[in-house]
Amino acid sequence: MPSITVKLYSVFFKMRLKNRLQGWIQTPPDESSNQEGVRTRPEEPVSASNPSFTDGIATKDIRVDPSTALSVRIFLPESALLPSERPQPKSKAEESSLKSENKSDQGYTPSRQNCRKLPIMLQFHGGGWVSGSNDSVANDSFCQRIAKLCDAIVVAVGYRLAPESKYPAAFEDGLKVLNWLGKQSNNSTGDEPWLVAHADPSRCVLLGVSCGANIADYVARRTVELGKELDPVKVVAQILMYPFFLANEPTQSEIRLANTYFYDKAICLLAWQLFLPKDEFSLEHPAANPLAPNRGPPLKLMPPTLTVVAEHDWMRDQGVAYSEELRKVNVPAPLLDYKDTVHEFATLEMLLKTPQAEACAEDICIWVKKYISLGCHEFSY
């Protein structure tokens, strides 16, 4: 069972989130007053970017679409550099000198044409459509962990949040970033030097957390439909961490765990009401149910899909069912089912250092390396 600390924190987490959601439902924000949308909440702590390979990772924020709030945070592991190019640790005297002169480290700038290329992991954060961000303290720590373990460039998407931007804004943002990544691989069209120098778009993995898993699955489906239109981007696999899937037919986990930890059923339904347009609200909406009738493309065309589920998550069985349907049509679709865990057990700030969170990140990277290692990515869509 989850610890007493987790249980107590969950009570206050749910109380605060439920009050916020109900407030938005009672007094909806004026969408016309904020055409750009929002990608973060002022009350949620964020981590500043650091372009200087602190702890082996350099980070940078990029505005992808000047007309909206859509942005990305790039996590570049130091392994992308040759040993001779890696920055030397600064002495305390050098650091003091920079501070006294009000100078900051300008960070890494690629200096060679033939740099080491790394796979890309396009990450979509959780937060129930209405909260969370790509630069939150928790998401920043999680993405740094994944970038190091997988030896990959993580591109965390700051998609537009509800209720200011309803469906399909977040889904469209996911696909827009994938198209943007394709342009960055070309010296003539790319304007982001880290990606131009180091990104290999032919080894792209989608990684979605909670509601971000729904975005990842949508983007994966669109890549199947668009095919070569997305060249040179090739999605070789996707990872769905405790997906935010729903359906009309109640599952055993839904019946047994409706009032479970953090994101319980009542809170999730409020979040879906804020995300979906009023005239489209349905638990069988294609954004909510990946197995909804007539939703394309055929499952057999989907990329290899790793699904992570938590024992004490009321949405657990929906993730299990999707994984099973993929395996029925011979898509490589393993399931990682972690005991004594809750929704977002590997990505919530207070749980990031737990053994389950660390094991989950390691398990993900063991699996995904089959598809992103050079010469081993025969599955590409």
Three state DSSP letters for the chain:
CCCHHHHHHHHHHHHHHHHHHHHHHHCCCCHHHCCCCCCCCCCCCECCCCCCCECCEEEEEEECCCCCCCEEEEEEEHHHCCHHHCCCCCCHHHHHHHHHCCCCCCCCCCCCCCCCCEEEEEEECCCCCCCCCCCEHHHHHHHHHHHHHHCCEEEEEECCCCCCCCCCHHHHHHHHHHHHHHHHCCCCCCCCHHHHHHEEEEEEEEEEECHHHHHHHHHHHHHHHHHHHHCCCCEEEEEEECCCCCCCCCCHHHHHHCCCCCCCHHHHHHHHHHHCCHHHCCCCCCCCCCCCCCCCCCHHHCCCEEEEEECCCCCHHHHHHHHHHHHHCCCCCCEEEECCCCCCCCCCHHHCCCHHHHHHHHHHHHHHHHHHCCCCCCCCC
- Range from 10-19, 117-126, 147-156, 299-308 carrying the lowest mean pLDDT: 10-19
pLDDT value at 380 more than 50: no
Residue 33 falls inside a structural domain: no
Percent of residues, the chain, with pLDDT higher than 70: 90
Active site residue 210: yes
Residue 26 falls inside a structural domain: no
pLDDT value at 101 more than 60: no
User: In this predicted structure, what is the pLDDT of residue 103?
Assistant: 47
Give backbone dihedrals phi and psi of 30, rounded to 5 degrees, phi first: -80, 105
Of the listed 125, 198, 285, 343, which one is catalytic?
343
Residue 35 falls inside a structural domain: no
Average pLDDT, rounded, for the chain? 90
Total domains, the chain = 1
pLDDT value at 376 more than 70: no
User: In this predicted structure, what is the pLDDT of residue 89?
Assistant: 59
Of the listed 131, 210, 253, 323, which one is catalytic?
210
CA dihedral of 39, 254, 368, 334, whole degrees rounded to 10: -160
Per-residue pLDDT reduced to its tens digit, 48-59: 999 989 889 999
pLDDT value at 85 more than 90: no
The average pLDDT across 250-268 equals 92
- Range from 34-43, 99-108, 225-234 carrying the lowest mean pLDDT: 99-108
User: In this predicted structure, what is the pLDDT of residue 52?
Assistant: 87
Active site residue 30: no
pTM: 0.92
CATH number, domain of 298, equals: 3.40.50.1820
Of the listed 217, 264, 313, 317, which one is catalytic?
313
- CB within 8 A of 106, min separation 6: which ones? 51
- CB within 8 A of 15, min separation 6: which ones? none
User: In this predicted structure, what is the pLDDT of residue 343?
Assistant: 95
Residue 343 falls inside a structural domain: yes
Residue 48 falls inside a structural domain: yes
Residue 181 falls inside a structural domain: yes
- Beta strands 71-77 and 153-158: pairing type? antiparallel
Residue 92 falls inside a structural domain: no
Per-residue pLDDT reduced to its tens digit, 347-375: 999 999 999 999 999 999 999 999 998 76
Residue 222 falls inside a structural domain: yes
224-156-218 Cα angle (round to 5)? 25
Active site residue 133: no
Range of the domain at 12: 4-18+41-80+112-372
